[in-house]
Amino acid sequence: MTRSRLLLTLALSLVSSTALADDRYKVVRPVIIESGIAGQWMMQLGGPVRGQVVRRVQQGQPMRMTKPRRLKQHMAVEPQAQIQQAAYHPDRPAVNAIEPQFLPQMVAYETKHKPGTIIIDTNNRFLYLIASDGQARRYGVGVGKPGFEWAGEHKITRKAEWPTWHPPKEMIEREAVKGHYLPASMEGGEANPLGARAMYLGSTLYRIHGTNAPWTIGYAVSSGCIRMRNEDVVDLYERVKVGTRVIVM
């Protein structure tokens, strides 16, 4: 009896083991594989194993490893430096680039005015010093910019060499609005806007004077004054006297 029970127990154990083995292979479990050489080898295995290709890898190319993402650290960033807008200044051309018609020269000029009279043609940017026999010595000048044009007749009431510049109060206030701060006065010299010489016109704020920006000759750039190259204003200065009549057209 004991032997029969032992045989029966052994038989039942074998049946149970077979059933468990069969159950293990009844479930089709997905296997995540690559499609490279190893993947092709796995697909050739027998049995009900279902391969799932998650990405293609070309043969002969190394497989890229994805780096783990790093959390962005909040780093202190210095505030951007505050940039101040500088005043715009046009490119400075060569001093000798002045157009030939604005260089001093004798020209024919018919007029009823007496020799020694100064006539300023603001439209064409010329200053004429009337000579005799229908001739005049012509200079190129810079004149008042739009809004600062004027015309009239005055006399030279004062002459000055390397004059001190005293910007009018109106000019100081006007330029301050633009962010340009002018000095109350500036001693004469090469950096002085009045240049080498100045001839003052009556009780007005206007002058015939030199300039430290000779490339502006021939243009409407001033606040109403008549500007000349320094060498030209020196030449004119030596030719005229206080009391000379000046006609601005």
How far apart are alpha carbons 9 and 16 in whole angstroms?
Answer: 11
Q: Which two tokens stand for residue 50?
A: 């279902």
Q: Which of 230, 219, 245, 232 is nearest to 122 (CA)?
A: 219
The secondary structure of 37-76 as a DSSP string is: HHHHHHHT--SSPEEEE-----TTSPPPPPPPP-PPP---
CB-facing half-sphere around the CA of 8: CA atoms within 13 A: 5
Q: Which two tokens stand for residue 30?
A: 């997905």
Residue 154: active-site member: no
Q: Which residue in 74, 113, 166, 209 is the catalytic one?
A: 209
Residue type, 235: D
Residue 203: strand, helix, or coil: coil
Cα distances (Å, whole numbers) of residue 209 to 41, 53, 56, 101, 201: 98, 90, 84, 19, 11
Q: How much of the chain is helix, strand and coil, in % rounded to 5?
A: 25, 25, 50
Residue 225: active-site member: yes
Q: Which residue in 113, 166, 180, 225 is the catalytic one?
A: 225
Residues with a known catalytic role: 209, 225
